[in-house]
Amino acid sequence: MSWFESLSELLDNSSIPWKTIVVAFSIGQFAFENYLTYRQYKVLSKKELPPVLVNEIDKETFEKSEEYSKAKAKFSIVSDILGLVEKLAIIKYDVFPRLWHMGNKLATILPYKYRVVSTVAQSLWFLLVLSNISTITGLPLAYYQHFILEEKFGFNKLTIKLWIMDMIKGIVLGTAIGGPILYAFLKIFEKFETNFIWYVCLFLLIVQILAMTLIPVYIMPLFNTFTPLEDGKLKESIENLAKSVGFPLDKIFVIDGSKRSSHSNAYFTGLPFTSKRIVLFDTLVDNNSVEEITAVLAHEIGHWQKNHILNMLFYSQIHTLAIFSLFTSVYRNLSFYNAFGFFIADTQMDINVHTPTKVFIDSFPIIIGFMFFNDLLTPLECGMQFMMSLISRLHEYQADAYAKALGYTQHLCRALIELQIKNLSTMNVDTLYSSYHYSHPTLAERLTALGYVSEKKKE
């Protein structure tokens, strides 16, 4: 007997207070993350810039940045409180069994010959109900974030019509694409009851690769317009850079990001061993010089040169393997499912007979188990977030160093400073907060690592 099987037998115990454990971990995560936010909020009260930024950021911009960061911190706390209350209500009032019933009722709308009553099909109906209710309950916060918070600081460019259209497109695409993916995911558990781990990991890797390949080409154009970069100095500069370092550049596009936000960005798409597309936000093209944009792309090419995409795929697979290996200990645990209102029906029982807070089904509802299992992993996931943030920041330093080696130090630093100003990014950051939340080093850390010396200091 493997240690997973032994652990599974040990945990299949009706005396284990699964609900209490999930509630405790959820509250613990809330407390920890908001403690970090509190630390960050205190740092935002500092009246002085980091030394390396003293000659680069004017007082008005600094104060507005701090105000924006405080507003986002307050919004984060309120959002977390509402999220915690929602989660606790779902657990206390057995909301998931109720939504399962609702999904079953929706399924009966179909003509009888098209009805499918398997646990996998019922899981998909449940997720359809849950996702749409989540979208509706999330509308007030989403509206506030875009049309009040972002609007106040001049970033929001969305109209109500565009916001609604984005939502509708997201729901349709989520159902059309996410449905088959979830179906295949759940069928793996049904087909390979005892040795699903490697199949799940392989399936999710394929999904990741397809997403990286297809989303930029076929999905994102449904939301934004991608226009080929016009001939000129910028295009020539980018092509010369790509040619000089052997970057397999295919096309360069400008995306109309300004129709939703005035924030700036740039990225490239494509698998590690295929040609790449470079995408520039129109806000970046409009507000930065040719040299600065080229320097930003030198940084992005540094990620390709250092195989950072492959690295993150590897770490992601290790993470996935660890999660599903641990999931084997509870995925067929009767006491675990029973605690949340899901019961495996006796062969003599009509599985369509339910109570409002109890569901009787003929096999384990894996999707329910996995959702609550994620809450049990909260301590592990918090630790993983520290690790993944650390790895991501190391990658950013390496990409910066690559751009520096190509001779773009000064232009990259100027571009980073301009982006910091345009995006009103946080100037002062608590170390523990950034270690957990930030995938990029702070501007001050990056400038220091690049050895940046202000032109004003030279004078």
- Is 96 a residue whose pLDDT tops 80? yes
Write down the pLDDT at residue 120: 86
Write down the pLDDT at residue 160: 94
Residue-wise pLDDT for 291-309, tens only, equals 999 999 999 999 999 999 8
Write down the pLDDT at residue 42: 94
Residue-wise pLDDT for 421-433, tens only, equals 999 999 999 999 9
303 annotated as a binding-site residue:
yes
Write down the pLDDT at residue 110: 64
- Is 321 a residue whose pLDDT tops 70? yes
Indicate if 455 belongs to the active site: no
Length of the chain: 459
**Band of pLDDT at residue 435, cut at 50, 70 and 90:** very high
The helix (H) or strand (E) run that includes residue 255 is strand 249-255
- Is 129 a residue whose pLDDT tops 80? yes
Write down the pLDDT at residue 347: 44
- Please give the distance of CA 457 from its chain centroid, rounded to a whole number: 40
Q: What is the largest distance, in Å, between two alpha-carbon atoms of the chain?
A: 88
Most confident of 39-43, 157-161, 251-255, 370-374: 39-43
What is the domain partition of the chain in residue ranges?
3-458
- Among the listed residues 56, 292, 300, 430, the single catalytic one is 300
Question: In 3D, which of 233, 228, 226, 224 has the Cα closest to residue 292?
Answer: 233
Mean predicted confidence (pLDDT) in 58-70: 93
Write down the pLDDT at residue 348: 44
Write down the pLDDT at residue 355: 59
Residue-wise pLDDT for 102-126, tens only, equals 887 777 776 654 455 678 888 888 9
Write down the pLDDT at residue 262: 78
Phi/psi region, residue 154 (left: phi>0; alpha: psi -120 to 50; beta: rest), is: left
Write down the pLDDT at residue 192: 86
Write down the pLDDT at residue 77: 96
263 in Cβ contact with 150 (< 8 Å): no
128 in Cβ contact with 183 (< 8 Å): no
Write down the pLDDT at residue 278: 87
3-class SS at 289?
coil
Q: What's the rounded Cα separation, in Å, for the pair 263 and 283?
A: 7
Bridge partner list, 268: 278
- Please give the distance of CA 433 from its chain centroid, rounded to a whole number: 18
Question: In 3D, which of 99, 75, 95 has the Cα closest to residue 87?
Answer: 95
Residue position matching structure tokens 């040719």:
290
Write down the pLDDT at residue 112: 52
Average predicted confidence (pLDDT) for the chain: 87
- Is 19 a residue whose pLDDT tops 50? yes
Residue position matching structure tokens 């000129």:
232
Indicate if 236 belongs to the active site: no
Q: At 277, which amino acid appears?
A: R
- Among the listed residues 400, 418, 430, 445, the single catalytic one is 400
Mean predicted confidence (pLDDT) in 79-97: 94
- Phi, psi (5° rounding) for residue 213? -85, -45
Residue-wise pLDDT for 207-261, tens only, equals 998 888 888 888 888 888 889 989 999 999 999 999 999 988 888 999 988 888 8
Structure tokens at 339: 């605690």
Mean predicted confidence (pLDDT) in 140-156: 93
Which residues, in sequence order, are CB contacts of 264 under 8 Å at separation 6+?
A: 257, 281, 283, 284, 287, 288, 419, 422, 423
Write down the pLDDT at residue 190: 87
Write down the pLDDT at residue 293: 93
Mean predicted confidence (pLDDT) in 62-70: 94
3-class SS at 270?
coil
Mean predicted confidence (pLDDT) in 161-174: 92
Mean predicted confidence (pLDDT) in 163-171: 92
Mean predicted confidence (pLDDT) in 16-36: 94
61 in Cβ contact with 421 (< 8 Å): yes
299 annotated as a binding-site residue:
yes
One-character DSSP codes across 143-154: HHIIIIIIHHTT
308 annotated as a binding-site residue:
no
Is residue 140 exposed (0-12), middle (13-18) or buried (19+ Cβ within 10 Å)? exposed
Q: Give the lowest-confidence range in 188-192, 307-311, 363-367, 389-393.
A: 363-367
Q: Give the lowest-confidence range in 85-89, 193-197, 227-231.
A: 193-197
Residue-wise pLDDT for 341-365, tens only, equals 888 765 444 545 555 567 776 678 8
Write down the pLDDT at residue 194: 76
